[in-house]
Amino acid sequence: MSRRPLKVLIADDEEIVRKGLKNIIDWERLGCEICGEASNGEDVLEKIVSLKPAIVMLDINMPVKTGIDVLKEINEHPEIVSRVPEFLILSGYSDFEYAQKALNYGAKGYIVKPVDEDELEKKIKSIVKEVHDETEVDTLRTNAKNLEVEKKFSRMFLYGNVADAFSKEEDGDDRYSVLIVSPELCGCAEQLQVMKMAVQENFMYTRHFDFAMEPMYIILFKNESEESILRHLGRFCNKFQKNGEGSLAAVGESLVGLEGALDSFNQAKKIYEQMFFFAHRPYVTIRDVLNDEDAKIRMQPHTVNASEKEFFHCIPKLIQYIEIYDLQKIRATLDSQIRWLKRSSLTVDQIKKLCMAFIVETQNAIRTKHPEKELETVPALDLVNLIYTQNYFDGMIAIVSDFTLGLAESFTSNTANSTILKVIQYVRANFNTDLKLEMLGNLFNCNSAYLGKKFREYTGVPFNTYMDIIRIEEAKKLLLSSPLKIYEISKLVGYTNTDYFYLKFKKHTNMTPKEFKSSSHGDGENSEN
């Protein structure tokens, strides 16, 4: 395994000595790099703190503070540096007594100036080996300690009790935040080592523990800010997201102490169960859940759920809408079912099973009612298998919606009135625009005179009368449900001339819009303007 070069700081008050030490041996070959120079004792202390060298070549006699002063200060106050470096003393023959004193402060040896190349290389090799050996021992100790801590947290999360894993003396005021990642959604369900390596790579600059709790992968952050966690997590998710979509992780809040760690885990676990509904976020936080009305309802501790029978109760009506190619009502019916599913407390598996059954039941119902039809649709059982593999709610619902609308398209394409049904559907969706038979004929590739004849045969009224009926019915709804003025309603339903609207409204209802609104509300206070 390749190692990073050890940083070396050269401290001597003579510039010629510093330059000579930089060039006298091949530092790179020895696994070192010169990170800086210092010319006095005060400068040495500052650069030890800022540059964090592993080795310091320290001259005994320097201005401001001597080498002995530097050693003494670090020896007495080791907390001023993140790690105490190894010191190699540079001394003259007359400084032997000081050199001996330096050894008492922990220096690794001394070299008499002028420096001998072979002796320096030998000393540096020895120090480099010692540093690497100590680092490996420290790493092993740290890994062993971390492994023990990870086991304790794993046990605490598994049994849901701090006392099952930690003693009271181990608690403190550290802050913990739990992140739960889905190895399956990351494509690492069978390769947890890949997951671990990705976590190490993306979170190496954070204080954390990580371990598997199948089917989840836990990352526990200690005293890390939310901003730092989410920044690293965003980069992590970008590597694993397919087509830039799909939630891969759930994030618990940062809370104090071991009980806080357990609470953060339990919160993250609840959020983890909601990831199925968040296809457009890389990860989910408690804020995402609280800002989503459906998610808030889902996560409430309630047991009120419609039965399967009630869920399938819409199928007879749905078949009727398919028969008349009423896409608007088909979509409205599906939207109602989707809304119920998104707000139910059903598990993901239960939701998938309901959608699978819904497709099979709908296809069976229309084939039973119309055995003469040859419907060109994807077999329901093929879609059942496809639904089962969906990782997110939106993908699953897209399959259900495409199937139902495709069923309507297939049913209508096999009927003699398929064109007129599609024209009627178009008219109902665009009644507030200036529709003409000529324009509809061009749109649906048929003669306008033929279209007018078929329209009257199918609806029982001429095209223009049918347009008036739809517009007036919509106007009646708006008069009862909105605070809009009558002239505003007139424009909304497709009549640019308000007087003409009054005329048509009275013809179809035997009342003016004002009279209709007054009779419905039981008063006559509404303005006619």
Q: Which pLDDT value is given to residue 393?
A: 95
Calculate the dihedral angle through the C-alpha atoms of 28, 31, 36, 38, rounding to the nearest 10 degrees.
-110
Beta-bridge mates of residue 57? 10, 88
Which residue is listed with tokens 């965003």? 234
Q: What is the pLDDT at residue 524?
A: 42
Cβ-based neighbours of 435, under 8 Å, separated by 6 or more: 427, 467
pLDDT at 307: 58
CB atoms near residue 207 (< 10 Å): 12
Q: How far apart are CA 465 and CA 251, in angstroms?
A: 59
Tokens for 478, please give them.
Answer: 């708006």
**Contact by Cβ (8 Å): 359, 380:** yes
Cα 276 to its chain centre, rounded Å, is 11
Contacts of 69 (CB under 8 A, 6+ apart): 41
Among 22, 6, 225, 203, smallest CA distance to 120 is for 22
Do 148 and 204 touch, CB atoms closer than 8 A? no
Mean per-residue pLDDT pooled into runs of 10, the chain (529 residues): 83 93 93 94 93 93 91 87 88 72 84 90 92 74 75 92 91 94 90 89 89 92 93 91 84 96 96 93 93 87 57 88 85 92 89 92 88 73 85 93 87 71 82 88 83 84 89 92 91 92 91 87 47
d(CA 500, CA 106) in angstroms, rounded, equals: 103
> The dihedral of CA 244, 247, 249, 255: what is its sign?
positive
pLDDT of residue 527: 42
Beta-bridge partner residues of 216: 213
Spatial contact of 234 and 282, defined as CB atoms under 8 Å apart: yes
E strands, 106-200, in order: 110-112, 175-181
Q: Are 253 and 264 in contact (CB under 8 A)?
A: yes
The Cα-based distances of 82 to 49, 50, 75 in angstroms read 7, 10, 13
